[in-house]
Amino acid sequence: MNLKNISVLTLLSASILASCGSEKTNTMEEIKSQTSDNIVDRFADIQVLRYEIKDFDKLTLNQKKLVYFLSQAGLAGRDIIYDQNNEYNLEIRKCLETIVSNYDGNQNDKDYQNFLTYAKQVWFANGIHHHYGMDKIMPNFSASYFSKLMNESGAKLSSEAQEVIFSKSKDMKRKVKDPNVDMITASANNFYGEGVTQKMVEDFYSKLIDKNDPTPIEYGLNSTLILKDGKLFEDVWKSGGRYGKAIDKMIFWLEKAITVAENPQQAKALEKLVKYYQTGDLKIWDEYNVLWSTATKGDIDYIHGFIEVYGDALGKRASYESMVQINDFEASKQMKVVAENAQWFEDHSPLMPEHKKKNVKGVSYKVIQVANESGESSPSTPIGVNLPNNNWIREQHGSKSVSLGNVIAAYEKASGAGLVKEFAHDEEEIKLAEKYAALAGKLHTALHEVIGHASGQINKGVGQPAETLKNYASTLEEARADLVGLYYIMDPKMVEIGLIPNLEVGKAEYDGYIRNGLLTQLQRLDLGKQVEEEHMQNRQLVSAWVFEKGLKDKVIEKVVKSGKTYYNIKDYSKLRILFGELLREIQRIKSEGDYEAGKKLVETYGVKVDQKVHKEVLNRVKPLNLAPYNGFVNPIFVPVLNEKGEISDIKIENKQTFVEQMLYYGKTYGILNKN
């Protein structure tokens, strides 16, 4: 599971977003002068940052090569995420790249600037739908102006794709999570072929899946389900199959990575990954994940594959992603105590005894430096990751958890306190945030990933959450992991094992979490919208549930001052008890596969938005001129060749603008482009 950067509001108690002046028309130079030198670009609702890699020169040549080869393998699959998100994305992206590269007309007029903003939004979202809200990005320029740009730059685009860009009725939402409609036909993603319905999908897999299988594969993970001659058929993503051209390039670079692997375990895992891409066999994918999750030695690691299922309303098909990691030894040493105490956390959790793991296996945790990201992980990146996702592998073999240290550091560097000061109830809450929010957020991330996703077990014969909890599985899993972190961050054990100086850290996290879950995250939604994204649903669900359940004892007080809404926690100890009660119930829902109870929780607490409060939040946020979403450009690795043409060193270049990087990526890694 990925803890996406959308969670940074919680991570740093809502203070991580930079305040960039009072006018949205500020130039980039003005924005940078007011905030931080790691801000690369600012457009629409997005801020692009730059992360640094420290001590890369201290790596051996083979380690540098490994980072380079793995990064190339990751970028080789970049086109896949575009095509997965919508069938027209690749040709639209190519058209936008051609216009930006070739158009030599007036680039200072309003229409062109609106076009450039649109192009940046598409690049950031890996397609024409918002990376987070899933709604189609509507251009602020006319179809006729777009045709002019195409004609004057030599760009080409099919009439169908042009229609999709400007249509106010076609492909309006990439993923629709509404139990009252056919979520497959309503969604504009490209995971399912023409004519495939939700009932067809559910019937197809119900006949394949054996709920009593102790080691089930992740059915549907790496294929497009299409209708062929009246029958459903899985068009598998593999060499020689769908996306084969890109996958062959991925294999090319992965095979090079094998030659410089740090140890035999790492090499065996990479060899198995190559075999998986060659065959598309999901049993081999599981074999790979067993090898990968137990290969914990070495300084370099990676994530690569079709992994997270957030993009599919039914939680089956996985989006492509890659991440290359360099261990941050000092930070990992400080935080490894979390993984070392995994069994203690499980034993002392508020879960029902039958839902606790008797023997937590193979839990590892590292703070890492990101070296490169691609696919679903870029430009919008996770801040923490726990994998693999297959429950039986986690239970029998363990899991790896990482926090992205240099990404979090980049957020901190570009941070400002405007949001906290506007929405905190009082000065005491502000002071707690200033003193402890950063530490609290990092610890909550660690507990969420290491203990949260690794905790609990499913009852025998129940089946996997994707089958039992369906479209609510991801929201409930994220809520469960968040609740584990919230429950333990106020435990004296945290002080005892040296992770925090006192429980004031936990109070700061509770303040920030409730403030974000009930108020500040609403800035991400357009007025009138409901909450659909899983991480947002999770945070609102948790916050709204504990608020309601604590009304009688006045655990959390809702305060309105001068027309502004605040939430003031009156009893942190009772709030912790409520977090534990909700954790117990959500684990029961997962363990027993209780779909109706899960649906009721999410729909009652996680979806609906008080429009009056929402309007208030938007009005209060507007003067702060915040960018609700953040992402990153990546460093570029440049091989240095000797006179024999052999790699003698790898150098880092980290100066590209966002536009420069997107054009460079399109030119260098545009393997599946349709034009």
> pLDDT for 141-171, tens place per residue?
999 999 999 999 999 999 999 999 999 999 9
Residue type, 528: G
When pLDDT is averaged across residues 240-244 and rounded to a whole number, the result is 97
Cis bond before residue 379 (omega within 30° of 0): yes
CB atoms closer than 10 angstroms to residue 99: 21
* pLDDT at site 336: 85
Q: Helix, strand, or coil here: 109?
A: coil
At 94, which helix (H) or strand (E)?
helix 89-102
When pLDDT is averaged across residues 518-523 and rounded to a whole number, the result is 96
CA distances from 591 to 124, 244, 309, 463 (A): 37, 38, 20, 9
* pLDDT at site 550: 98
CB atoms closer than 10 angstroms to residue 608: 12
φ, ψ for residue 608, nearest 5 deg: -75, 145
**Which of 243 and 8 is assigned the larger pLDDT?**
243
* pLDDT at site 477: 95
Dist. CA 125–CA 163, nearest whole Å = 19
When pLDDT is averaged across residues 382-395 and rounded to a whole number, the result is 92
Q: Is the pLDDT of residue 43 over 90?
A: yes
Q: Is the pLDDT of residue 618 over 90?
A: yes
Q: Are 55 and 33 in contact (CB under 8 A)?
A: no
DSSP state of 135: B
When pLDDT is averaged across residues 447-457 and rounded to a whole number, the result is 91
Mean pLDDT of the chain: 92
- Band of residue 291 on the pLDDT scale cut at 50, 70, 90: very high
CB atoms closer than 10 angstroms to residue 613: 14
When pLDDT is averaged across residues 97-107 and rounded to a whole number, the result is 97
Q: Are 214 and 392 in contact (CB under 8 A)?
A: yes
When pLDDT is averaged across residues 432-450 and rounded to a whole number, the result is 93
240 CB-near residues (< 8 Å, 6+ apart): none
Nearest Cα to Cα of residue 288 among 383, 387, 409: 387
366 CB-near residues (< 8 Å, 6+ apart): 301, 325, 327, 328, 332, 335, 336, 400, 401, 402, 403
Using CB atoms within 10 Å of the CB of residue 609, give its burial: 0 to 12 exposed, 13 to 18 middle, 19+ buried: middle
* pLDDT at site 3: 67
Tens-digit pLDDT profile for residues 457-479: 999 899 889 889 999 999 999 99
Whats the size of the chain, residue-wise? Answer: 675
Q: Are 47 and 630 in contact (CB under 8 A)?
A: yes
Q: Is the pLDDT of residue 8 over 60?
A: no
CB atoms closer than 10 angstroms to residue 654: 13
* pLDDT at site 416: 64
Using CB atoms within 10 Å of the CB of residue 41, give its burial: 0 to 12 exposed, 13 to 18 middle, 19+ buried: buried
* pLDDT at site 659: 98
Residue with tokens 């992206």: 93
Dist. CA 437–CA 422, nearest whole Å = 16
The beta strand positions in 542-664, using DSSP E, are 556-561, 564-569, 629-633, 636-641, 647-653
* pLDDT at site 334: 75
Dist. CA 314–CA 206, nearest whole Å = 13
Tens-digit pLDDT profile for residues 585-605: 999 999 999 999 999 999 999
184-215 burial code (b ≥16 CB/10 A, e <16): beebbbbbbeeebebebbeebbeeebeeeeee
Dihedral sign for Cα 568, 574, 575, 578, please. negative
